[in-house]
A and B are shown apart, each in its own frame.
Chain A
Amino acid sequence: MEELALTVENISKAYTIGLEDKKSDTLFGAIRNTIMAPVRNFQNVKNLSNFSGKDRKDVIYALKDISFNIPKGEAVAIIGHNGAGKSTLLKIIARITDPSEGKIKIFGRVSSLLEVGTGFHPDLTGRENIFLNGTILGMRKQEIERKFDEIVEFAGVSQYIDTPVKRYSSGMRVRLAFSVAAHLEAEILLIDEVLAVGDVQFQKKCLGKMNEITNQGRTVLFVSHNIGAVKELCTRGIVLNKGRLEFDGNIKDSIINYLEAFKQSTNSLENLHAGHKLLAIGDLLLNGSLDLKIEPGKQLTVTLPIKANEVDNPSFAFVIEDFMNNRVIHVRKFTDKLGFAQLNGNNILEIQLPSLWLAPGVYSTHFRIHTDTQRKIITNKTFFEVVGNQEIEDAGFFSGGVERSTLLAPTAKWKMENS
């Protein structure tokens, strides 16, 4: 039985939202509304913190029935679209806000990093703020004293440590704040979007430090929109959607689950209407199957069934994007090069790609179709995974169990000759 760091049981969180005041259309009603306003306002304010009463239209659930367990030492990402409830969940675990229902058990000391520089006071010096911020985050005084030099060193502000923080540049402030947080020794760390601050160089530094933390075997709960960071740091992903737990599993599958929600917004069939003569688009197949795992270095044949009715001069484009929506490939073909000027009936569009040597990871593909009416049709994004194989592993792609994020993973032939 693994040692657990955290158990979450049926957690729900309700909030009251503002509803429009009922307006009256009679004078008497309007006067009455004005007179009753203080009473109503009092009710409204009181209702902010009170959720009793059935069927209240102004109560929404930011989280509903969330349950999961986290063993010690696991690095878990909590991902989801905006409004999914990720930050709310973290706030509840961090005891900032109470759950409406459910129970959480925590085994170990928790430090929460929901914001960098919490409690920083601009009039205090860097030194004073390190102690203040560190204490707020839960460090003991001796701990801070012990680590003081390290913290200043990591932030690179030793020259300015006795100047009031309001004189610091924003970069320095952020570095100092992160440095304090990075030296927390708690067994369980809750981190919310912290890596969204600072310049690129600093973000790299943060990522490096976070890697160190996860390698030390501490339990980390990480909420972020930065899928790249999340993929590198975490082994498990929990996907939240509109307050519900949508998926809980290994990080790659959870990323796929998260990304697949984007499918809805690019539904191609909605773009087809009476004016269009493209009638239907079928499933995109990779190498003839719906099984969307391929190996690097293998040829790829992508097919797309299209049913059309006298469509003139269609042109096609094929796109592969990585999980960060960076375009990896965008190839186009105009009809006249395909050898026909009009598309009619049932057809299958095929594109053959040579070995691309894509690095293992999650990718999406879609087709784009232009017709003579100039309307662009974008098919649903289909996700596929490039999986590693023995050759890749031998090439050191997976180093120490952690994926290196490169764009390509070709096999190379090495040779050493005595000259």
Chain B
Amino acid sequence: MSVENVEKIPHVVIEPKKGWQIINFKELREYGDLFRLMILRDITVQYKQTALGFSWAIINPLFTMVVFSIIFGSRGLGPAGMPYKLFSLSALVPWTYFNQAVTNSTNSLITQSNILTKVYFPRLIIPLTPVIAKLSDFAIGMGIMIIFMIVYRNDFTINTNILYFPFLTLLMIITASGIGMWLSAMAIQYRDVKFAITFMIQIMMYAAPIIWSTEKISHQYRILYGLYPLAGIIEGFRACLIGNPVQMPWDLIIPGTIVSILLFITGGLYFKRMEKVFADVV
């Protein structure tokens, strides 16, 4: 028999948390099953009881592309020598993902408040689930993009930029996660965020080179513009998929990446710091 007065180590110690917390990665791994299941749930549920099912994932970027082509296509907003449709769609597919991921992530704590107040699990799973779940829509959108690329194959040249696709996707996910963590934690405390997010997304869309090409931006401002993460991501996807711009726009991507990583880290820290009050203020 072991010595009687050795105090057993508790599995869990509950204490008031003060100040900044670090992310408990070990715990996140333990709850991996739950994370996967919630992602699966989000994906299976979104188009249940619809007649069109997953085709909705296509309709969104496709229709937007058609509308944009009609309205903006002839105004010379796109680069010369490139069908506006391609120009537009290559940006709209990642943008649609980003839009939905950030919106759903921001509202996630509020819509899942019923679980929040009844069960314990690492709260970080909640805003991160839509960020991963919406990749299913992204994949379908990419499928359509590939079809378009085949149809219009004579109008552009693929180059080695295509190899940067995984990198750009990862960057996109990290950016969405960072913003999602920030905004979800804020939205649950200050409901203003819920209302602001709709027009914020609008502004973000026009600020990003989705409708217009960055050819228009003069050289000295490019790096400054690059601080807006979506600038590098969208333009990067264009360079990657349709080879226009021909070079990967590193002057936009690198500042954007730094900002994204900062958003991700600070978002995680802010989220963990505010975590303790979620169940009380929801």
Residues of A within 8 A of B (CB): 1, 3-4, 15, 42, 45, 48-49, 91-110, 112, 114-115, 118-119, 121, 123-124, 128, 131-132, 135-137, 140-141, 164
Q: Which residues does chain B contribute within 8 Å of A118, judged by CB atoms?
A: 114-115, 118-119
| Most-contacted residue by chain A among B38, B49, B119, B189 (CB, 10 A) | B119
Q: List 6 A-B contacts (CB under 8 A).
A: A49-B277, A99-B16, A106-B11, A114-B117, A121-B45, A124-B45
Within 8 A of A (CB), among B241-282: 274, 276-277, 279-281
Known contacts A96-B117, A105-B10; 10 further A-B pairs (Cβ under 8 A): A1-B5, A95-B14, A96-B279, A98-B277, A103-B14, A114-B117, A124-B44, A132-B37, A136-B121, A137-B119
Q: How far is B121's CA from A118's CA once the two chains are assembled, in angstroms?
A: 13
| Most-contacted residue by chain A among B33, B121, B190 (CB, 10 A) | B33
Q: Which residues does chain B contribute within 8 Å of A1, judged by CB atoms?
A: 4-5
Contacts A48-B280, A128-B44 given; does A96 touch B14 at CB 8 Å: no
Give the residue name and chain of the A residue nearest to B189 (CB). Answer: A45
Is there contact, CB below 8 Å, between A131 and B37? yes
Q: How far is B41's CA from A119's CA once the two chains are assembled, in angstroms?
A: 11
Is B13 close to A, CB under 8 A?
yes
What is the minimal beta-carbon distance from A261 to any residue of chain B, in angstroms? 28
Give the residue name and chain of the A residue nearest to B14 (CB). Answer: A104
Q: How far is B276's CA from A137's CA once the two chains are assembled, in angstroms?
A: 20
Within 8 A of A (CB), among B49-89: 49
Is B147 close to A, CB under 8 A?
no
| Most-contacted residue by chain A among B13, B33, B45, B118 (CB, 10 A) | B118
Is there contact, CB below 8 Å, between B41 and A124? yes
Is there contact, CB below 8 Å, between B114 and A135? no
Within 8 A of A (CB), among B79-118: 114-118
Q: Which residues does chain A contribute within 8 Å of B279, judged by CB atoms?
A: 91, 96-97
Is there contact, CB below 8 Å, between A110 and B12? yes
Contacts A118-B114, A118-B119 given; does A97 touch B280 at CB 8 Å: yes
Q: Which residues does chain A contribute within 8 Å of B41, judged by CB atoms?
A: 121, 124, 128, 132
Give the residue name and chain of the B residue nearest to A3 (CB). Answer: B8
Is there contact, CB below 8 Å, between B11 and A108? yes
Is there contact, CB below 8 Å, between A105 and B13? yes
Is there contact, CB below 8 Å, between A99 and B34? no
Which residue of A98, A106, A107, A131 is within 8 Å of B276 (Cβ)? A98
Q: Which residues does chain B contribute within 8 Å of A15, judged by CB atoms?
A: 280
Q: Which residues does chain B contribute within 8 Å of A114, judged by CB atoms?
A: 117-119
Within 8 A of A (CB), among B115-162: 115-121
What is the minimal beta-carbon distance from B143 to any residue of chain A, in angstroms? 25
Is B48 close to A, CB under 8 A?
yes
Which residue of B14, B33, B117 is within 8 Å of A140 (Cβ)? B33
Q: Which residues does chain A contribute within 8 Å of B277, judged by CB atoms?
A: 48-49, 98
Q: Which residues does chain A contribute within 8 Å of B8, judged by CB atoms?
A: 3-4, 107
What is the minimal beta-carbon distance from A355 to any residue of chain B, in angstroms? 50
Q: Which residues does chain A contribute within 8 Å of B17, judged by CB atoms?
A: 98
Is there contact, CB below 8 Å, between B280 and A101? no
Is there contact, CB below 8 Å, between A95 and B12? yes
Which residue of B11, B49, B121 is within 8 Å of A109 (Cβ)? B11
Q: How far is B11's CA from A108's CA once the two chains are assembled, in angstroms?
A: 6
Give the residue name and chain of the B residue nearest to A6 (CB). Answer: B10
Is there contact, CB below 8 Å, between B45 and A103? no
Q: Which residues does chain A contribute within 8 Å of B120, judged by CB atoms?
A: 94-96, 112
Q: How far is B11's CA from A101's CA once the two chains are assembled, in angstroms?
A: 20
What is the minimal beta-carbon distance from B272 to any residue of chain A, in angstroms? 12
Is there contact, CB below 8 Å, between B34 and A106? no
Q: Which residues does chain A contribute within 8 Å of B44, judged by CB atoms?
A: 123-124, 128
